[in-house]
Structure 1
Amino acid sequence: MFRGLSAVNLDAKGRLAIPMKYRQMLVDLCAGRLVATIDTEERCLLIYPLHEWEVIQAKIEALPSFNPSARRIQRLLIGHATDIDVDANGRILLSQPLREYAQLEKETILLGQGKKLELWSKDLWNSRRDDYIAEVNAPEVLPDELLNLSL
């Protein structure tokens, strides 16, 4: 569904134009209704079509609330989840807390990840991408499924 990398500028009000290649897909999939939340492992945002997020939220809510790790995930992911709509100009408005968490400024990277999009600060993405590329040469950290994948 979502794949590829797009450089997108964030304006001073926190608005971001969704790339044309995703706009019609988002209208068809979810009438432009999205949910953005934080990634608990990286300083980026996760952006889901509403119906995809609802499946994830139900699974998160089903986790045992007396388990400290599960409770942490519930608080972080659901607590930061924000409904956003694609406007008539194909833009979304990101809240200040989400922008601050992901350290988003003008230059951002929108990264397709199948059923969701990730939104990164350009500088953070470039640094993390370089880290990922450096890790490729360490096969002991790759899951067995990747070691057997032929490209």
Structure 2
Amino acid sequence: MFMGEYQHNIDEKGRIIIPSKLREDLGETFVITRGMDQCVFGYPMEEWRQLEQKLKALPFTKKDARAFTRFFFSGAAEVQFDKQGRINVSTPLKQYAKLEKECVIIGVSNRIEIWSKPVWESYYAESEASFAEISESLMDFDFDL
């Protein structure tokens, strides 16, 4: 399980250090792709395979399903760590997530997320203000904190 919040810089070549606490569970090779809310998702290969199977089950006759799978898979790339524990984020993913210098890497259960620090801070501030409201709406899913 991935959890925690870490800050690292991305360099001009698109390389970013993934914290050692997250690297072990990601494995030698893992997949990064466009995430929701303008961040990059990172999945261990087993999680990626499970997600891929779920997305394959979506009805390709539905326009939204085709659009989502195109968006999700077209940005996907297998990545590996270099000797310093860095991965290389492609230019399209860097542009999508506005990764320029300061970044935040968070663990979110079955995946990691890589955020531009300014985008993360804005998202966090907005979400923090409505945290109680969000938790109340999750009660509809028989979810209790």
Normalised by the length of structure 2, the TM-score is: 0.91
Task: Output the amino acid matched with 2:48.
Answer: W
Task: Output the amino acid matched with 1:10.
Answer: I
**1:1-150 maps to which residues of 2 (within 5 A)?**
1-26=1-26, 30=27, 32-39=28-35, 41-138=36-133, 142-144=137-139, 149-150=144-145
Task: Output the amino acid matched with 1:84.
Answer: V
Aligned pair in 2 of structure 1 residues 66, 144: CA closer, same or farther (>3 Å)?
A: same
Q: Separation in 1 of the partners of 2:50 and 2:132?
A: 35
Work out whether residues 57 and 78 of structure 1, in 8 Å CA contact, stay in contact via their aligned partners in 2: no
In the TM superposition, what is the alpha-carbon distance from 1:52 to its structure 2 partner? 0.9
In the TM superposition, what is the alpha-carbon distance from 1:147 to its structure 2 partner? 8.4
Secondary structure, counterpart of 2:70 in structure 1: helix
1:14-45 alpha-carbon deviations (Å, 9 max, x no partner): 0011112223333xxx3x11101112x31101
**Which segment is superposed worse, 98-107 or 58-67?**
58-67
Work out whether residues 25 and 44 of structure 2, in 8 Å CA contact, stay in contact via their aligned partners in 1: no
Work out whether residues 110 and 120 of structure 1, in 8 Å CA contact, stay in contact via their aligned partners in 2: yes
Q: Separation in 2 of the partners of 1:98 and 1:139?
A: 28
Normalised by the length of structure 1, the TM-score is: 0.88
Q: Which runs of 5+ in 1 are unaligned?
A: none
What is the aligned-residue RMSD (CA, Å)?
1.9
Higher strand proportion: 2
Work out whether residues 97 and 116 of structure 2, in 8 Å CA contact, stay in contact via their aligned partners in 1: yes
Identical positions, percent: 34
Secondary structure, counterpart of 2:123 in structure 1: helix
